[in-house]
Amino acid sequence: MMMESTQGSISSFEGYTEDLHISESVLQVGDLPLAENLRQLASRINIVCRIICPGNQGTGFVIDNGLLLTNHHIIPNLEQAQKACVQFFYERSRKTQEIVEVRLNPDESEGGLFLTSETPDEGFLPLTKDKLDFTIVAFRLPLPHKLDFVHKMGMSIFSNVQPIEGGHANIIQHPSLKENGVMHSFKRYAFWKNKIKQIEADKFIVHYETTTLRGSSGAPVMDDQGDLLGLHRARCPNQQHQNCNTAILASAIAAAVLERGYGQKIKECCSIFQSEVRLNFLSLSQDEDLQKELNYYIPLDASRSLKDEPKDLEEQVESFISSSNRILLILGEAASGKSLFVRYLALKKGKAYASEKDFLPIYISLSSVKQADRVLEEGLQYIVSPENLPDFLKEKKLLLFLDAYDEMPCLRKEKKEKFIEKQRKLFNIYLENNLKLRLHNDTKIIFTCRITDIQAEDLRYFYPDGKTPQGFNKLILADFDPGKQISYLTKYLAIQKEKGLSPSWTVEKYWKYFNNISGLKEIVKNPLLLFVTAEVLPSIVEKFKKERSNSEEKLHLTETRILDEFIVQRILREYNRQTENSLRPQYSKEDYLTFALDLIAQMSKEGKYVISRTDPSLMKKFQRFFCNSEEAIFKRKAIPLTCSEGKEWKFIHDKFRAHFEAMWQQFELGREEEILELLGVKKESF
């Protein structure tokens, strides 16, 4: 561990002078910094974090809108980066629950980044161009909502701000310090007795006075304006700079990054768009549930009407983007792949934007938008500040993906009484939000909606003028044909093998049962149900053969039966995992099922199917389900849920939500025998 300097402690106050009218001391102007500098320095407090690695700890901070910078001797390799715990708000005044812990993502194949420059063999000095003792690593996204500021507040290593001899070196750090016999490393600052003594650009370092301790390594060294000068490293080892510290010059780090060809990668990771919209892209690119779905992605077909021959969907969307039309509506059955397609395209367009600078893609899930006339305000609230939103919308040529119109809470059917629904009101989002005047003239909007929720006369709610289809396009997703079904199964089995599994069925065997089982071919015409069926069909067939080995009865399957089996298998998988591990709490199969049904019952009662973690009153109502207790964590794993962008809980797909709701209604009506039989639970014990 590098040694730190403890020079610069505060002397005790000795009282006022006897004569308050004596002249003020005459100081150099640099000794009286401007008061507003404190505001600039204070704005850096929250981006400084504590880093805990196995057998080591230090300080780090956010750079260039979303990466972590620290010393190589704190995080020396990929393995340590994967194990590191990064803590924001680790401060004396904070409660334990206010500390935010995040992980790092050094794996570039998963959208991460890791770049390190080793510590010199001699330890302290001399630094060389190839051994500058720094590490840059990406955060694992999505970040908790409490860290939404991170993508806006990072300091730049490319700003080329240079230290000035005699100037100030300000540090915010997490030094290890013992107080009252207790060792801790709360965040501290050193803004006094902090003169820069010498700059050795040829050695890539700056020497300065200030107080640091073990744990301070990796702290930002800033000038009085809060701009980054260097990366704090250790105390000076030689007598010439006794009681001084050293930092690696930020300009030297920037030069090393560029020389090693990482300048573009950092820009791709941090600055694909301006900082205001970067989070939208990275939340998609590192959404683990989305990445899993994209592994199975098969190109979709669509047609302008049900009578037309389906053609490649992506090609038709590209034609729309290059046309003069303003709005495209993509319609499809539930689980037909609408949402996956627009997220896939948003990611693809996002990656291309870095070089093409054409349309700037923005993805918004309408399922979390509460007010139909504030779609952009709510959808972009974590991305663009309210004061910047008008200029952003008017100046940027956007490609807006407004996904799941039918799932907007304000459009959901209202419950009049148990299981009875009242017709909902539809909105023209384009008109309600005055988008014609607010958006850039070339901005394009792509909506998705379930086809069963839109009648022919409802299309006017998507017309730019609300009356005529001028400027409007519509596409209807086609079912998977046999060729796409076989392609999907081939990809599914290949992924199972990559996971180290040994599938018992081949594509040919699946295809045989698709053709032989009554009703099955009509079910597996979309990607979600094809995936679910591929997961459960072998076990369904095996059970059927065992139970009816001497019968000529043929197997018949429904969508409900397949989804029931999928849910039961998830519950049994989690139940078996806990029984195999004696350290885990023990819950019965009934406990897992009750937890899931209680959750959907609460959602139905509240009329809330998207639970925002930023809504305290809503989280209080759902605390039992979404708290961090061991019980809630284990039982949630048995339910197909996702925590979108770390901000809101919802079902992975609305089809699962609808199925759980139907299951709960069956239990309410006393028709639960079938699901309990699948689970192997007697009705009397439930």
- With helix as H, strand as E and coil as C, how does 485-533 read? HHHHHHHHHHHHHHCCCCCCCCHHHHHHHHHHCECHHHHCCCHHHHHHH
Give the residues across from 172 on adjacent strands: 189
The reported pLDDT for the residue numbered 469 is 96
What's the rounded Cα separation, in Å, for the pair 643 and 639? 12
The three-class DSSP label of residue 65 is coil
Helix (H, G, I), strand (E, B) or coil at 231: strand
**Cα angle: 568, vertex 296, 311; to 5 degrees:** 120
Distance CA 295, CA 563 (A): 21
Give the residue-averaged pLDDT of 227-236: 86
Among positive and negative, which fits the CA dihedral 417, 419, 423, 426? positive
Residue type, 148: D
Give the residue, 318 or 98, on which the prediction is more confident.
318
Tell me the per-residue pLDDT of 113-126, one tens digit each, with 9 for 90 and over: 899 999 876 555 67
Q: Is the pLDDT of residue 490 over 70?
A: yes
Give CA–CA dist 610/637, Å, rounded: 17
With H, G, I as helix, E, B as strand and everything else as coil, classify residue 402: strand
Domain ranges in the chain?
A: 35-269, 275-415+423-477, 558-685
In angstroms, the CA 215 to CA 177 distance is 9
Tokens of 265: 């990668």
Mean pLDDT of 565-588: 82
For residues 282 and 269, give the distance between their C-alpha atoms in angstroms, rounded to a whole number: 8
Return d(Cα 227, Cα 155) in angstroms, integer.
7
pLDDT of residue 482: 94
Q: In percent, how much of the chain has pLDDT > 70?
A: 83
H or E element in which residue 49 lies: strand 48-53
User: In terms of pLDDT, which residue wins out, 434 or 676?
Assistant: 434
CATH 3.30.1330.20 fits 35-269, yes or no: no
- Compute the distance between CA of residue 565 and CA of residue 532 in angstroms, rounded to an integer: 9
Distance CA 208, CA 90 (A): 26
- For the cut 70, the answer to whether the pLDDT of residue 248 exceeds it is yes
Per-residue pLDDT reduced to its tens digit, 28-59: 444 555 666 677 788 788 899 999 998 889 99
Show the CA angle centred on residue 47, arms to residues 4 and 234, nearest 5°.
15
Q: What is the pLDDT of residue 444?
A: 98
**Closest C-alpha among 288, 189, 193, 180 to residue 232:** 189
- CA gap 396, 390 in Å, rounded: 10
Half-sphere exposure of 516 (CA within 13 A, CB side): 11
From 49-58, 63-72, 221-230, 286-295, the region with the lowest mean pLDDT: 286-295
Burial annotation 614-633 (CB, 10 A radius, 16+ → b, else e)? eeeebbebbeebbeeeeebe
Residue among 155, 601, 621, 143 nearest 382 (CA):
143
- Reported confidence tier of residue 157, pLDDT bands at 50, 70, 90: confident
How confident is the model at residue 519, as a pLDDT?
84
Q: Is pLDDT larger for residue 534 or for residue 93? A: 534
User: What pLDDT shows up at residue 415?
Assistant: 40
Using 50, 70 and 90 to split pLDDT, how confident is the model at 269?
low
Report whether pLDDT(8) > 60: no
Is residue 92 very low, low, confident or very high in pLDDT (cuts 50, 70, 90)?
A: confident
pLDDT attached to residue 666: 86
Averaged pLDDT for residues 526-544: 94
- Lowest average pLDDT, out of 173-177, 210-214, 603-607, 661-665, goes to 210-214
**pLDDT of the residue at 583:** 58
**290-314: b or e for each residue (b if 16 or more CB lie within 10 Å)?**
beebeebebebbbbeeeeeebeebb
Least confident of 125-134, 272-281, 380-389: 272-281
CATH topology identical between 35-269 and 275-415+423-477: no
Strands 311-312 and 85-88: unpaired
Q: How confident is the model at residue 470 (pLDDT cuts 50, 70, 90)?
A: very high
Highest average pLDDT, of 7-11, 106-110, 623-627, comes from 623-627
Q: What was the pLDDT predicted at 12?
A: 33
The answer to whether residue 215 scores a pLDDT higher than 50 is yes
Instruction: Taking residues 458-478, report their average pLDDT.
Output: 96
What average pLDDT does the chain have? Answer: 83
Closest by CA to 682, choosing from 564, 579, 593, 597, is: 593
Confidence (pLDDT) at 240: 61
For the domain covering 275-415+423-477, report its CATH number: 3.40.50
Mean pLDDT, residues 301-311 taken together:
95
* Cis geometry, peptide bond prior to residue 54 (ω within 30 degrees of 0): no
Condensed to tens digits (0 to 9), the pLDDT of residues 328-342 reads 999 999 999 999 999
3-class DSSP assignment, residue 265: helix
Which two three-digit tokens encode residue 193?
Answer: 């007795």
Q: In the prediction, which pLDDT does 326 show? A: 98
Over residues 647-678, the pLDDT tens digits come to 788 998 889 999 999 999 888 887 777 777 77
Q: Which residues pair with 128 in a beta bridge?
A: 131
Better pLDDT: 364 or 262: 364
What integer pLDDT is reported at residue 123 of this predicted model? 54
What's the rounded mean pLDDT across residues 52-71? Answer: 88
pLDDT in tens, 595-614: 999 999 999 999 889 898 77
In the predicted structure, residue 418 carries a pLDDT above the cut 50: no
Residue 279 pLDDT: 53
Q: Mean pLDDT throughout 374-381? A: 90
Q: What is the pLDDT of residue 321?
A: 97
pLDDT confidence of residue 514: 95
> Vertex 624, ends 618 and 629: CA angle to 5°?
120
User: What's residue 71's pLDDT?
Assistant: 94
